[in-house]
Amino acid sequence: MMFETISIPQVGFTYTLPIGLFINNEYVASKNGEKIDTANPSTGEKITSFYAASEADVDVAVKAAREAYENVWSITSAEQRGRLLYKLAELIERDKFKLAALETLDSGKPYHSNALNDLEQIIQLTRYFAGSADKYNKGETIPLNHDKYAMIFKVPYGVVGQVIPWNYPLAMASWKIQGCLAAGNTIVIKPAENTSISLLYMAQLFVEAGFPPGVLNVIPGHGATAGTALASHPDVDKIAFTGSTQVGQKIMELAGSNLKAITLECGGKSPAVVFADSALDNAVEWIANGIYYNSGQNCTANSRVYIQETVYDEFISKFKAYTHKMWTFGDKLDPFDKKCTLGPVISETQFKRILSYVDHGRDNETLKMETVADFPKNSNGYFIPPIFFVDVPQSSKLNKEEIFGPVAVFSKFKDYQEAIKLANDTTYGLASAVFSENVRTINHFIRDVKAGTVWVNSSNDEEISVPFGGFKMSGIGRELGQSGMDSYTQLKAAHINLSNYK
């Protein structure tokens, strides 16, 4: 059977949930029949099992995408692609509460304060690319002389493989899918093995919207099997990946098998720098949200916070008070509870990994640690309260490595020169934030910081029309905005000669 009935009583939804691979607009079993269990991180209980793609299944999906590209999608007009995406946006909006509930069930993110926000962005993003489909892929004509001119075209790659992470299952998939389809490519996408059910469910909406078979194929599976097969497949023209830097490096190596184009959005250790002249309450609120939203499971989380020494103690006091008031598991340890603003982390593996950093900082480095709330008792879920460390030296492991959880690290600085040196002292370069009321300080920081995104007097407030991506070990290429289509096209040049050979 390709479907299973599940219910989410907290919101009154019952689903006929697809558990098959989605290939050629149909749900099918994997060739070897292997399945993956997925669990509710707030309880540890199994939700369902879905089919896991083998290498043979990846090959079938790629062939379906190739056939759809060559015979249908490559000759579908940009205007029609836009119409299909706009219809998709309407269907996502119709089903947003159901989709958000699946996200909460499978990933643990709070339903009211997080999952529904993700769906609003997805709807906005889908409409954005629906309107972009016939506007951003315009060519260019270059007059060279009286008898010759050149034309430059933006053309799709063809078949694109995509691999997405577990922290924003539908949002990260939509960042990739919608722009890629608008640009004229077909897709084989692998969701994370522990958060696949929401994308499998949403795949039905592409059929309902009218997308032809093979244009979008969803193949859940283990990274070592399905991810490796997709990244190395000789008939995949481009690979786009979001996830850890370590896996991104492997994807880059595998893509070299046929020199396929790559887009990588990898890890981060993003700094937030607070100058003494900043609006301190504003800085506290943005930074707390920047590290604890989505339980700190954000590549752009401002997990390194540098505060000018003259306001350091005041900032820490305000931060603790605000965090205690704002971030709560709710009364029932249930992410569907309206009071819940901090959900569990994704899995037992991630839970143990985060706590290993906490133990290291407290026990091995003897750093001063603050826990804003208690760890829940009598819970099988993976709940970690807001934690922060103060007076952390730059050499600390906690300042160097991505923790990917609700753990903040605070350090002091004296002046601008020290602040920018500390901010740039990392192998990553995904995002950054600066808090100041001084226009010179702000502009110097924007110029000097080595990061793909700079937030000024805010943090983690990305916009779907603005390019997003990293420097250094945080990745290659950009998503969102016009870049969200340009990254899925390549340039072709034509030389038109009007004269005879001389």
Q: CA–CA separation, 172 vs 299, rounded Å? A: 12
pTM: 0.96
**Domains present along the chain, CATH in parentheses:** 3-266+476-491 (3.40.605.10), 271-463 (3.40.309.10)
Q: Looking at the predicted structure, is the pLDDT value of residue 138 above 90?
A: no
Q: CA–CA separation, 184 vs 116, rounded Å? A: 29
Task: Compute the average pLDDT of residues 263-285.
Answer: 97
Q: How confident is the model at residue 373 (pLDDT cuts 50, 70, 90)?
A: confident
Predicted local confidence at residue 189, as pLDDT: 98
Identify the sign of the CA torsion 252, 20, 67, 74: negative
Q: Looking at the predicted structure, is the pLDDT value of residue 292 above 90?
A: yes
Please list the active-site residues. Answer: 265
Among candidate residues 121, 122, 131, the one with its CA nearest the CA of residue 82: 131
Task: For Cα atoms 192, 299, 395, give the angle at the middle one, nearest 5 degrees.
Answer: 125
Which two structure tokens, joined as six digits, stand for 140? 């260019």
Q: Which residues of 65-88 are buried (b: 16+ CB within 10 A; e: fewer)?
A: bbbbbeeebeebebeebbbbbbbb
The pair phi, psi for residue 39, each rounded to 5°, is -125, 155
Task: Compute the average pLDDT of residues 101-106.
Answer: 98
Q: How confident is the model at residue 372 (pLDDT cuts 50, 70, 90)?
A: confident
Q: CA–CA separation, 143 vs 467, rounded Å? A: 31
Q: Work out the number of other CB atoms within 10 angstroms of the CB of residue 14.
A: 11
For residue 412, which amino acid is it? K
Task: Compute the average pLDDT of residues 121-137.
Answer: 95
In this structure, what DSSP letter does residue 479 have? B
For the stretch 40-60, pLDDT in tens is 999 999 999 999 999 999 999
In this structure, what DSSP letter does residue 468 have? B
Q: Looking at the predicted structure, is the pLDDT value of residue 501 above 90?
A: no
Among candidate residues 388, 362, 358, 352, the one with its CA nearest the CA of residue 373: 388
Residue 41 in contact with residue 384, Cβ under 8 Å? Answer: no
Among candidate residues 464, 400, 443, 389, the one with its CA nearest the CA of residue 271: 400
Task: For Cα atoms 256, 257, 263, give the angle at the middle one, nearest 5 degrees.
Answer: 40
For the stretch 207-232, pLDDT in tens is 999 999 999 999 999 999 999 999 99
